[in-house]
Structure 1
Amino acid sequence: MEKESKFQPSKGFETLGGLKTQRLVSIDALRGFDMLMICGADAFFRSLEGKTGLAWVDSIALQFEHPEWIGFTFYDFIFPLFLFVAGVSIPFSLGKLKEANAPKSQIYRKAFWRMMILIGLGILDKNAPFPFFDWEQIRLGSVLGRIGIAGFVTVVLFLNFNATKRLLIAAGILVLYYGAVFLVSVPGFGAGDLSFEGNLVGWFDRTFLPGRLLQGQFDELGILTTFPAICLTIFGAHAGEILRKINSSENQKLKELLITGLIFIGIALVWNLHFPIFKRMWTSSFIMLTSGLAFLSMGLFFLIIDILKFQKWAFFFVVVGMNSLTIYMIYRFVNFRYTSRLLFEGLYKPLGENWMPVMESLGALLLVWLFLYFLYRKKIFFKV
């Protein structure tokens, strides 16, 4: 647990909700928006399906479901966006350490232990209740573990290579992943099979990854998909470098973010013609698409919040973004929906049983935010 972290200021001090901060507000707001989609908002939107009789509402609700295999929805963008935003913060945090002349060994050690803690928390998250007496049922792949690994690799690359070389390394990873999927033969299926049963990723994890796979034969958080996922954090660090440029105007930074995003999306759409965009395999085209969307999202938040200074609306998301790890873990182990039902069911019960899941989800979302707001006001921020 720690008090306010010091990040590179955008322009002077900003005051949000009575708390003075030197942080680039748009980064925390985007992180909070993303985390809220995982911890409450997703359940609320899904619960709206079939409730209103409006086709557009049902369409939005369906965007908060992952496709079974090939396909893409808005919900598929949420985790990649978090990996990207994790990268955005790296140039700011490392910039401070480098200015303080911190030795590389110290930075490596800090990044390594952060990775190990996140891997441990991720294993706990994905296996609760933990199978202490059945180790074969432990799932090693996790969201937090992937964030930790991607962050550590990006830190190492950031300290040793310039922006151009890091982008080339990320491009190389995506091309090699693409080549491996289509050139390495899977026993019984051959090379280039993108089916659930015959793809290289699933076969590799079944062969080399101990423990339980999420879908029996396949785990999207397994070994091979980690490599393309790391590229999202590398690209995020590039966005962070753009935002941290001292000699660039805010409009120049915005232009660079938007142009980069559009180029990435264009590459993704072309790549999609042979290597389909879908999250389960974290395909190279999927990485380029979600990275492109993340650049555009970062640019949009930067424009509205840090350039045009429309910041009051962002406070709702900043409260979440400042304690993202906290809410991710708390939401896993605290049943906010149950508490919502106990506190608010008497208010919404007259709406009828059909609407109870909607209001229950909305109440849970309110409780999540109020809990984080309490921590925010007390200046309590849990970091790894």
Structure 2
Amino acid sequence: MKRFEALDIFRGMTICLMIIVNTPGDGASTFSLLLHADWHGFTPTDLVFPSFLFAVGNALAFVMPKWQDWEFKDVFLKVLKRSAVIFLLGFIMYWFPFFRQDASGAWSFIPFSDTRILGVLQRIAICYFAGALMIHFFSTKALYWVSGGLLLGYWAIMSWFGDLSMLGNAGQTLDLLILGDGHMYHGEGVAFEPEGILSTLPSIVNVIGGYLLGLYVKEGISYEKLAKVMLYGAYILLVAYLWNFIFPFNKKLWTSSFVVLTIGLDFIIIGIIIYLTEFSAKPYKFSFFQTFGKNPLFIYLLSEYLAITMYVVKIGDRSLFRVAYESLFSWLPPYINSLAFAVAFMMICWAAGKWLEKRNIYIKV
């Protein structure tokens, strides 16, 4: 397998879908496949975030050999620095644009007490930090034991303390105790953090799962190894299916069964990508998705900051985002127009990534 080709494609697909999911023209007119499950259950959209964590672990399989001869201090500081930068970027993104407008039109500074501390990039940062250190210092066998311990331990905690409702689960209790109401996500109408403290523990396993697959294929791939990747994915999905009966799939709680399900699906998806790029009679290039995969963090941040800015800027009594959507796609049927806007927005972000790619600019932290 070419060193980063399948990884770039997989990561690029993840970013591409993430942007489409996050920026519909009208959230009320969005196809169900592009919505997260309301609570228990699973949709294709629920696969996006865990797949990015899986890609983080996959990439670690290729960079770890460079760290083998490093001293502990050097490894720790490198991982800590990168994690801190990603966490800070996520925190600032949620605080941006730092001011808010009330009903009278007056602007005021958003105090730190009203900022969301955790979130998507913050979870990526924490999972990268924990996963990278575990991967560097633990044996492969130990990683399996640690992964099992995290998944089973989380299941036990969620079963013994509280229930699996939004406001009654153990993670919610811990988040309110440590973060407080003001520092949590309020998009559900109440203070509830879908990237909470406790549910971050099982999400580390998504990173480890990606690493283990990367470790298996990075030295080369054959038909036999590819078949095993697909079989492993099928076995993992079977475990997830059975676990779902007693600990349901739930992205917002990041249940252990959800982790196993997404890892199994990612095994199969990457297996398909490897087949199409390496073994197909006419290999596919997927250059469109590789553009996203080569600058994933920059393109994701660009999409978020651009969308936020378009919501903040007003033209009359409507946001620039709404004006752009209604001006460009209101003539299309419902649902189609919302998706068309999301795809157009994604293409703008892709164009920025392509501009960087053509100039061999790869923005990393």
Pairwise TM-score range, normalised by the shorter structure = 0.7 to 0.9
Equivalent residue in structure 2 for 1:214, among 179, 185, 188: 185
Deviates more, 1:333-342 or 1:218-227: 333-342
The one-letter code of the counterpart of 2:240 is: A
Match of 2:87 in 1: 119
Alignment map for 1:62-141 (pairs within 5 Å): 62-98=32-68, 101-130=69-98, 134-141=111-118
- CA distance in 2 between counterparts of 1:255 and 1:45 reads 41
| CA RMSD, 1 decimal | 2.8
Report the CA distance shift for 1:198/1:45 in structure 2 as closer, same or farther (over 3 A).
same
The one-letter code of the counterpart of 2:267 is: F
Q: Please, which runs of 5 or more residues in structure 1 have no aligned partner?
A: 1-9, 12-22, 50-57, 185-190
Offset, 1:341: 7.5
Match of 2:295 in 1: 323
Offset, 1:356: 5.0
Match of 1:302 in 2: 274
Residues 325 and 341, structure 2, Cα contact 8 Å, conserved in 1: no
Match of 1:5 in 2: none
- CA distance in 2 between counterparts of 1:382 and 1:261 reads 32
Alignment map for 1:169-318 (pairs within 5 Å): 169-184=146-161, 191=162, 193-210=163-180, 211-215=182-186, 216-245=190-219, 249-308=221-280, 310-318=282-290
Offset, 1:239: 0.7
Question: Kindly, what percent of the aligned residue pairs are identical?
Answer: 26
Match of 1:31 in 2: 11
Residues 340 and 364, structure 1, Cα contact 8 Å, conserved in 2: no
Offset, 1:47: 7.6
The one-letter code of the counterpart of 1:252 is: E
Q: Please, which runs of 5 or more residues in structure 2 have no aligned partner?
A: 100-108, 311-319
Offset, 1:145: 1.3
Offset, 1:169: 0.4
Offset, 1:340: 11
Report the CA distance shift for 1:172/1:206 in structure 2 as closer, same or farther (over 3 A).
same
Residues 21 and 45, structure 2, Cα contact 8 Å, conserved in 1: no
The one-letter code of the counterpart of 1:141 is: L
When normalised by structure 2's length, the TM-score is: 0.85
Equivalent residue in structure 2 for 1:373, among 341, 351, 354: 354
- CA distance in 1 between counterparts of 2:153 and 2:36 reads 26
Residues 258 and 295, structure 1, Cα contact 8 Å, conserved in 2: yes
Report the CA distance shift for 1:40/1:273 in structure 2 as closer, same or farther (over 3 A).
closer
Residues 21 and 34, structure 2, Cα contact 8 Å, conserved in 1: no
Offset, 1:291: 0.9
- CA distance in 2 between counterparts of 1:270 and 1:243 reads 28
Match of 2:141 in 1: 164
Residues 25 and 325, structure 2, Cα contact 8 Å, conserved in 1: no
Report the CA distance shift for 1:319/1:202 in structure 2 as closer, same or farther (over 3 A).
same
- CA distance in 2 between counterparts of 1:43 and 1:207 reads 32
The one-letter code of the counterpart of 2:201 is: F
Count of residues paired in the alignment: 342
